[in-house]
């Protein structure tokens, strides 16, 4: 699949690049996508939820009623779960929600997500660029020139660029990622994925299934 290369002014340079079929042209694996997105979302959870159990409630331990004959549940003390203000039974405890996922499954999920974007013509290639200083106005101008400013846009850079990142930080719906930090959730969440030319070359080295084998 060939895609035109644009400059930051939104003009067609007349050059075309061929998208790697082993990355952008595979049959998407929905289950791999599900697992990778599930892991990403699980990793975002703090897992700090906690409720007090019976032994952690501050209250008198005096027995407040007869053991039998009251007509209701046994209430040993004021901390009993059957009373208002008592401890909670089987309440949430701090835990780690993260889980392991094989590297090949994660790579397959990313290739599947990128293939979906390619099928929907939601991939744009732009010439390599950089900012001398953080400037939100310049980033917005580029997205307008490329006609990707109306929705969520994910821009992929070959390596970290602080000025570009800071320029996009306050733009609603915009996200800047490096090739090494690319994840399935961000790709699917974006309406359009914008690659710089060097980023497109770099992603071949990371996700090419033939090189993995």
Mean pLDDT of the 30-59 span = 95
Mean pLDDT of the 154-179 span = 93
pLDDT band at 76 (very low <50, low <70, confident <90, very high): confident
Is the pTM higher than 0.85? The answer reads: no
Of 53, 44, 54, the closest CA to residue 92 belongs to 53
Structure tokens at 3: 């895609």
Q: Does the pLDDT of residue 211 top 80, yes or no?
A: no
Q: CATH class for domain 2-45+98-212?
A: alpha beta
Per-residue confidence (pLDDT) for residue 32, from 0 to 100: 97
pLDDT band at 96 (very low <50, low <70, confident <90, very high): very high
Task: Write down the mean pLDDT value for the chain.
Answer: 92
Which tens digits make up the pLDDT trace of 164-173?
999 999 999 9
Q: Does the pLDDT of residue 98 top 60, yes or no?
A: yes
Mean pLDDT of the 32-54 span = 95
Q: Does the pLDDT of residue 45 top 90, yes or no?
A: yes
Q: Does the pLDDT of residue 212 top 80, yes or no?
A: no
Q: What are phi and psi of 156, to 5 degrees?
A: -105, 125
Per-residue confidence (pLDDT) for residue 188, from 0 to 100: 96
Question: CA 179, 137, 11: angle at the middle one, nearest 5?
Answer: 70
CB atoms within 10 A of CB 205: 9
Domain(s) labelled CATH 3.40.1370.10 in the chain stretch across 2-45+98-212
Q: Does the pLDDT of residue 213 top 80, yes or no?
A: no
pLDDT band at 61 (very low <50, low <70, confident <90, very high): confident
Characterise 143 by phi-psi region: left (phi > 0), alpha (psi -120 to 50), beta (else). Answer: alpha
């Amino acid at each position: 699949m060939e895609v035109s290369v644009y400059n930051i002014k939104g003009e067609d340079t007349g050059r075309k690049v061929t998208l790697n079929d082993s990355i952008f042209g595979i049959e998407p694996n929905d289950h791999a996508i599900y697992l990778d997105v599930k892991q990403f979302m699980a990793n975002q959870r703090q897992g700090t939820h906690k409720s007090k159990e019976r032994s952690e409630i501050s209250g008198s331990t005096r027995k407040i009623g007869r053991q039998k004959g009251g007509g209701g549940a046994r209430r040993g003390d004021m901390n009993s779960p059957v009373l208002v203000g008592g401890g909670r039974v089987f309440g949430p405890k701090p835990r780690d929600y993260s889980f392991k996922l094989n590297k090949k499954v994660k790579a397959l999920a990313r290739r599947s997500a990128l293939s979906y974007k390619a099928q929907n013509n939601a991939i744009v290639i732009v010439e390599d660029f950089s900012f001398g200083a953080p400037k939100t106005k310049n980033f917005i101008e580029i997205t307008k020139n490329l006609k990707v400013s109306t929705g969520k846009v994910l821009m992929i850079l070959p390596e970290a660029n602080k000025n570009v990142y800071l320029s996009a930080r306050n733009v609603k719906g915009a996200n800047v990622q490096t090739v090494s930090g690319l994840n399935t959730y961000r790709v699917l969440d974006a309406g359009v994925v914008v690659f710089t030319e060097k980023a497109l070359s770099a992603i071949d080295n990371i996700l090419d299934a033939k090189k993995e084998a």
